[in-house]
Amino acid sequence: MITICNDSHSDYFILLGFSNKPYLEKICFGVALIFYCLTITGNVVIIIISWKDPKLHTPMYFFLSNLSFLDLCFTTSCVPQMLVNFWGPEKTISYFGCAFQLYIFLWLGATECVLLVVMAVDRYVAVCYPLQYNTIMHTKLCLNLSILSWGTGLVQSLIQSPTTLQLPFCSHQEVDDIVCEVPALIQVSIADTTYNEIQMSIASIILLVVPLMIILWSYGSIAKTVLKIKSTSGQKKAFGTCTSHLLVVFLFYGTVTAVYLQPKNNYTREQGKFFTLFYTVVTPTLNPLIYTLRNKEVKGAIRRLGRRTLHFQNI
Annotated domain spans of the chain: 12-301
8 Å CB contact between 28 and 86: yes
25, 18 in Cβ contact below 8 A? yes
12-301 fold:
Rhopdopsin 7-helix transmembrane proteins (1.20.1070)
Give this prediction's pTM.
0.86
Angle formed by the axes of helices 59-76 and 22-52, to 10°? 150
Could you tell me how far CA 76 lies from the centroid of its own chain?
12
- How would you write the pLDDT of the chain (315 residues) with one tens digit per residue? 344 444 444 578 888 888 778 888 889 899 999 999 999 998 998 898 888 888 888 898 899 999 999 999 999 999 999 998 888 777 888 889 999 999 999 999 999 999 999 999 998 998 889 899 999 999 999 999 999 999 999 999 999 999 998 888 876 678 888 888 888 888 888 888 889 889 988 998 999 899 999 999 998 998 888 888 777 776 777 676 677 778 888 888 888 887 777 655 554 667 778 888 888 898 888 888 777 766 677 767 777 766 766 655 555
Could you tell me which residues come within 8 angstroms of residue 103 by beta carbon, excluding any fewer than 6 positions away? 157, 158, 161
